Chains A and B, each alone.
Chain A
Amino acid sequence: MADVANHMETGQGTAKRFSHAILEARGLQKQYGPVHAVRDVGLTLHAGEALALCGENGAGKSTIFKILAGEVTPDGGEITLNGDPFRPDSAASAVRAGVSMVYQEFNTLPNTSVAENVFLGRMDMFRRFGIIDWTKLHAAAQEVLNRLGLKIDPRASIGSLSPSTCKMIELARALSTNPKVLLLDEITASLDHDDADTLHRLMADLRAQGVGILYVSHRLQEIFGSCTTVEVMKDGAYVTTRPVEDLDESQLSALMIGRKIDVWERTPGLADRPVMLALDGLSGAGFKDVSLKVRRGQIVTLAGLAGSGADAVLEAVFGAVAVSKGSIELDGKRHEGRDIPEAIAAGIAMVPKERAVEGLIDSADIQFNIGLAGLTRNARGGFVDGSAESKDAEQGMQLFRIKAPSAATAVRNLSGGNKQKVLLAKWFLTNPKLILLNNPTRGVDVGVKLEIYEMLQKLREERDLAVLMASEDMAEVIRVSDMVITIRHGAISGVFEGEAITETNLINAMI
């Protein structure tokens, strides 16, 4: 209740700064199975206001956006747009009502022209006698592109443009609908520096014209630069709303985390352990001059925003992408492995990020999947030792507490959490000296997450295993790492150990 009162109070505060509210949402609810994605969240967006929705991953920001954009139907709550009830049942109906969204994911079609993408789904506007009037279409597209200051030919093919420009075309698409409310979800994650500047200038223009903007970004600096108001969410619930002038970055971070994170018992004396992996000036596509050491029994995490190059470093150590410069030393010996089979033979395992594509074969059973990594370990002369393979599978199922009727259960019949455990078992069973974990708890619920952390802790102690991890889950990074190395634009931007591993420190080094 205190939160609500607080909201009302600040709501009145902001009302003085802006003329009138365009969009008001009260008591929004959305539940997915047992999970409350959003519970009793409200917001008020005024004409000319830029409201940043802030919170950790999973706080419910995207759900709110999707509700407002007509992608998701809320389980409860009311929304009004200019005082009228607003219940969009599709993205198209939200757009017609004046609410347009630019999504986090890419939404352009590669083999079509810029103009067609700007007016995607609305080409009917240019239809005359059943035929598209291309001249009119191109002229209309040119006009929108000019508003954005984009110097692109409307006839150009999307395939020839940079990802940043594609994102700007999605922005052009949203603008061309003349929205009263514009929703921008992590748009700057895909924009280069110049386009981000253009966007922020445009935001100021739109606000002057009375458009309301809802904004989500992990880059807190941007929020302070371009937004007027901040609303904080946590675990699907409303926390507070403040004018940006009343906050600084660290206060905002503290509000987002909402609590002091319980500190993971970090293993002492790791600095004296022998070095298992040493990278020296490693460079390749997406990363440059990366030098680091991982000791036996130590968990080192590479933390960076999506596309920072942290993934690429892991891929390079595993032999999945080429190294152009620098060296990899494993257990005191230079590792010359140029491909995955050689990396596995040298004692390196890697749990990949995309479980469905890179991790497990869905149609095959647990035993097949666990045995698949480094097939030669249970084979002699090309023949597989079936009983050794089945022992491995049993051991993996026990070790990771995989819930399945038997090792002959097809992976596709398991829950997401159990699939992830099979994936971990698959790689731990190769008895690696070094394990590379790329987002090892991606897409699993909190309970399984904690279980996986526990196993990880146990295994690295028992087996004196060196772990190099990459993770986009900040809570995970802070929780399990002995050392965090932040990566920004492919290069190391900071090294943090012990007490220095805090969300504020890491985020500042990452962005």
Chain B
Amino acid sequence: MQYFQKELETMSADQKKVLQSERLVKMVKYVYENQKPYRAKMDAIKLKPDDIKSIDDIYKLPYTVKQDLRDAYPFGMMARSKKDLVRLHASSATTGKLTVAGYTMNDIDVWGECAARSLVMAGADEDSIIHVAYGYGLFTGGLGMHYGGEKLGACVVPASAGNTQKQIQLITDFGADIICCTPSYIIYLAEEFEKMGLKPGVDLKLKGGVFGAEAWSENMRADIEKRLGIRACDIYGLSEIAGPGVACDCEYKTGMHFQDDHFYPEIVDVDTLEQLPIGESGELVITTLTKEGMPLLRYRTRDIASLNADPCPCGRTTIKLNKITGRSDDMLIIRGVNVFPSQIESVLLKNHNIEPHYHINVDRVNNLDTMEIVVELSPHISIDQVEDVEAIRKKLTSEMASALSVSAKITLVSPGTVERSEGKAKRITDRRKL
């Protein structure tokens, strides 16, 4: 199977532009009429829906930022009533509040189609057994790939995350040929396969996988492909726009094919917010062209990347997204979970045994992300036994895990020993080599 939706994936540049223009004009009218916060933004600069006549006018539109979503928590950005919404996803945001995304049935269908296109790029077809080891839940990974697999007509194994021994049993016994999970987890699985003496091509039928939700390098790709003998595709998505499937690598890996009939990407300069020409690196901005539940116009993703329009031997004509190289904010992605330093701060401020001074060390050990939070003990507490310190650490560890949805190692140090800096504090050391 070469394509999931050949006509849409291989349309000519002219056809694409007409389609994008038609959809954008309609989308701007729809948002203006149904999404109050954005209407206010347009009114503030006296921009009327009629001023947007084609995709070339997109630069005139104001940006939507994550703060807009937070201010409108939970449903202020929805353009449809609860009657039409069929699903809510959410991801963590800086203030402890969640960023919510609402989907209509049509949105779920479109997302599923994009995920199905991605699975085909990884080598899947109707006969595939697709093992989904992304977490199922508010996080979009699991359900996104699940619906994609079903759209494709393949057979989906909703394994979800965790319990590696069970995962391995399912993968081998069911003969999964396609797997979906984070890149660090597939490497972990590869190591486990090796330990158990399971050989690719003999005991394992895997031939491809889509791996996303965290940044990974070409070196990691080479490692995964060599160890497992599979096609390893990077997949991009974010819950505000749609989960995984917004863009994905094909077999030629010339950049992730961006499903630009539904999602229009731009790269903008982080400082001036001017649109940058194709090829230059900047912040990825996405406009949804067909979304109904929570359409977003020029949404600033905070992901730093570049686009390329080079023709791809696979025949798909979409624009392509090169690997994400960083973030324009202080968000960390730890084992696929978004972590904001401000979430850590709010936990520390509530605990009186410690000071709100901290440093975060992020590393990747055996291909799994680790996070250590170094925290100062308060000078006002009394400690004369090891158990006193262990009790404080245990309490803080569990408070942190429940606030961040990902575990962190807590290291307690003497008051005054965490480095203070003038101006913007350097609170994060990220030693992950990507």
User: Are A and B genuine complex partners?
Assistant: no
* B positions within 8 Å CB-CB of A: none
* A positions within 8 Å CB-CB of B: none
